Amino acid sequence: MQFDSYIYALFLPLVFAGYWILRNKLMWQNLFLLVASYIFYGWWDWRFLALILITSTTTFFTGLVIKNDHSLRSKTWLSLNLIINLGILGTFKYFNFFKDTFSDILKLFGANPDFITINILLPVGISFYTLQAISYSFDVYNGKAKPTRNVIAFFVYIAFFPQLVAGPIERARNLLPQFLKKKSFDYYNAVIGMRQILWGLVKKLVIADNLAGYVDNILYHPSVMNATSIFMAAIIFAFQIYSDFSGYSDIAIGSARLFNIKLLPNFNYPFFSRSMKELWQRWHISLMTWFREYLYFPLGGSRCGKLRTCLNIMIVFAISGLWHGADWTFVIWGAVNGLMLLPFVFLKKHKYSNHARFRDIPKCVLTFMIFALIFLSFRSPNISHLQECINTLIHGSYLAIPMGISAFYYIVPFVIVEWIGRKQEFPIMTLKMPTILRWAIYWGLLFLLAFYSARADIQYIYFQF
């Protein structure tokens, strides 16, 4: 079930009504949310509900037996749970990737392997809820979270439908306690949630989906394009994936607000960053903070000297790239982004103000251009396609008129609105103005959705991860 589908437009109000009808009955509210979440996920393929049940069950019972004593017994149970969950993720997401890589290595030595071809379907959202389950186990093991005996609340924590498929990736210490205490309806929070859902739909349907066509046309055969067109495609794709994924996050966070549940922010106006380091503090925040806490810090973080810090950064970003997709193009994307951060290990720390100002625009533009060009690796379906893009950028003409200029019809107004609203969680979060003007904005955004939404049914990009 996609957020921008008619079925979700029916599903969400029904769940909202049923949830608050059961107010003051916490167990029934959680059970209702659990059933609704399983219906939401099962709408794609009900068979994959078994995987969520396995992850939820093993993680719940592991949490009950793990103690905050780092004993051999606790380490054994923690390791067992990691093996089960990472085993499921590895099988469904990386089996073919590792098989093909191993086959290519054997061919280098003259072997001609003939592996049985197995086409494994990737369950939507598996990367997200697996990381969420793993974080719970580690938090209990390290004493950062108390194990819960409320099985229904825990199952909802893993499967909560707004953030089940593509995050934000929640920590147990933030989300789980919200399912363990009674909540009262908050009208103002619900209004904010509806505004955020509306803004997320505009980002997805009006901005991202319309930009998708430009990117597809230019990058279909990059070898026959001029360099300016490939450069333009990189810019457009950066805005497409940002609008697509942050639009999903807005709808997820806004939907949760209707139930008076607060999810972590996932984006903080990343394209107004003044350096690559700042950009990665503002981009996919829930994932990067997850890797920082559960991978970077255990590796030693920045406590073991500058060279070791550089190695730790490269490991984290290479794994982050592989997490995004089972292809070497994603590993390259992660590794190059990691390389861009290494100079900051040796530079004197500089603190920027919270929000970019007009005088920072040149830095923001330069940072964005670097980030967008690196994204060509993310967008390329394979290494040969990426090579074609790079060859065109190096040897192609920069004097020709680029394709896709009309995409700025969508990009420029979007950037202006985001710049004006950059001090808020999302641009239309607080509309302190006369009622008639506020409703004019609502109707204006609804007009955009009605008349400027892309006609094609385009799946959210991060559903493939």
Two tokens, residue 204: 């997805």
**Whole-angstrom distance between the N-terminal and C-terminal Cα of the chain?**
16
- DSSP of 188-234: HHHHHHHHHHHHHHIIIIIIIHHHHHHHHHHHSSGGGS-HHHHHHHH
Rounded Cα gap, residues 380 and 355, in angstroms: 32
- Choosing from 221, 284, 324, 385, the catalytic residue is 324
Q: What angle do CA 447, 448, 452 make, to 5 degrees?
A: 125
Element (H, E) at 73: helix 72-108
**In this structure, what token pair is assigned to residue 77?**
């149970």
Q: Which residue has the tokens 């680029």?
A: 402
Contact partners, residue 78, CB within 8 Å, separation at least 6: 62, 66, 137, 138, 141
**CB count, 10 Å around CB of 253?**
26
Angle at CA 324, nearest 5°, toward 322 and 325?
70
Those residues with Cβ within 8 angstroms of residue 328's Cβ, 6 or more apart along the chain or in another chain:
383
- Token pair recorded at residue 18: 């049923």
Q: Helix or strand or coil: residue 381?
A: coil
Query: Annotated catalytic, 324?
Result: yes
Q: How far apart are CA 112 and CA 106, in angstroms?
A: 7
Alpha carbons 355 and 295: distance in angstroms, whole number: 29
Question: One-letter amino acid identity for 440?
Answer: A
Distance, CA of 228 to CA of 211 (rounded, Å):
17
Tokens of 195: 């505004």
Phi, psi angle pair for 206, to nearest 5°: -90, -45
Provide the residue count of the chain. 465
Distances (CA, A) of 267 to 27, 54, 324, 330, 374: 32, 30, 17, 20, 19
* 97, 277, 300, 312 from 304: Cα distances, Å: 33, 20, 6, 10
Neighbours of 333 (CB within 10 A): 26
Please give the positions annotated as active site.
324
